[in-house]
Structure 1
Amino acid sequence: MKSFKPTVLIGVSTQGGAFDEKVVREMASITERPVIFPISNPTDHAECTAEQAYTWTDGKALFAAGVQFDTVHLNGTTLYPGQANNFYIFPAIGLAVYATRPALITDEMFVEAARAVADQVSPLARERGLLFPEQTNILQTEVTTATRVADYIFETGQATVERPDDVRAWIESMLYTPEYLPLTPQD
C-alpha cells in the first residue's frame, strides 16, 4: 500500500474480507475519497461490506458492490452504497439495438451507455455519495440510456432503420409492460 499508494480497490477475488481494516484505513490516509468496489458476490464473498468501508474511512469512501448493501448510518449521516451491476446497461443496450438494428454491437455503444448512466446521477445524489442513479427510477434510467445509445447508433450511421423524429418516444413505444388484462365475470 505504501509503495503503490492506490486510491481505488476493486475486488473480484470472491475472498470475503480481503479488504481488511488495515488496508482500507491505509488507503483512506492516501486519498480524500477512496474508491472501494468489492464486486464479488454473493454477499459473504464480498471483499468488505459497505458498513466496514464507510466506518474505516470515516464515511469518505465512494462505495459500490456487486450486490446491494443496506444504507449505513454513521455519525448522523446516511450513506447510500451503490450496486455496480450490469442491470443499468444491458437492458438499455438491448432495447437500443432492437430498435435501431445495427449490424454490430460495438464497444463504443457500451461507453455511450456508461456515460448516459453516469449523467443521470444528479449533483445532489453525488453529494449523498451515490455513484449510480437511484434504483427506484430504473425504468426511466433504462429509457434515457437506451435513447442515448440509439441516438449514438443513428449519429454514427450504424442503424439499419430510419431515424424517427422523436427517438425517446419511439424507444418508449417499444417497451414491454407485463400487465394482465382486466378480468371481468361474464353474466
Structure 2
Amino acid sequence: MKKLASIAVALLLAGSVFAQSGSYKLNDKVANFSLQDGKNKTVSLTDFAGKRAVVVVFTNNNCPYSKLYEERLVNLAGTYGSKGIQFVFVNPSVGTGEASETLQELAAKNYSFPYLADQEQSLSGKFGATKTPEAFVLLQTDGQFTLKYKGAIDDNPQVADQVKNFFLKNVIEEVLSNKTVTSLERRATGCLIKKY
C-alpha cells in the first residue's frame, strides 16, 4: 500500500511539472495578452508599453492569503504607480461554478489598476502560476516585456509588520534603479490554483 501511495505522489508531482513545462521561464519574452475586467472592458499587456514594468499578480477574492496581501499590494501599486510601475490583478478562478458572483466581485473592486478575469486559465497557465497571490514582474524594453521575477510578495503573509524580506518591493526598486534583479524567484505562499 505504501508503494502504491508513493507511486501516486510521484505521478502527481510529475504531472504538475509537465503541466508547467510550457510556461514562461525567467528572462523569457512575454507575449501580448488580452483579458476582460468585471465590466467587460478589454485590457492588453501592450496598453502598458510606456511603463517601466508591469507587475501581474494572480489573486482570488476567496483566498485568505490574497485577502491578507490585498492592502500591501494596493499600497505598493499606489507607491510605484507614478514611477512607471503598472500593477494588474488577474483572477484565475473566474469560470468556475461561482463565475457570475466572481465577476460581480471583480466589478465591485475599485482599484486604481485593472483587475482581470482569466476565465479559461490560459494566462495563469502560460505564466505557470500555481498559487494566489503570486507575483510576476515584467520588465519593459523597447515595447517588449521580459519576465524578471516570479513568486512571493514577501516572507510573512500573516503579519505585515513583521516582514523581514520584501521580495517584490526589492525587485521593483532594482528595476527602477536599472540594477540587475538579484532575487529571481521565490516560492509563493498562498492558495493553490485549482485547474478547471
Could you say whether these structures have the same fold, taking a TM-score greater than 0.5 normalized by the shorter chain as the test?
no
Larger radius of gyration: 1
Q: Which structure carries more strand by proportion?
A: 2
With normalisation by structure 2, the TM-score equals 0.25
Bigger relative contact order (CA 8 A; separation at least 6): 2
1 or 2, which has the higher helix percentage? 1
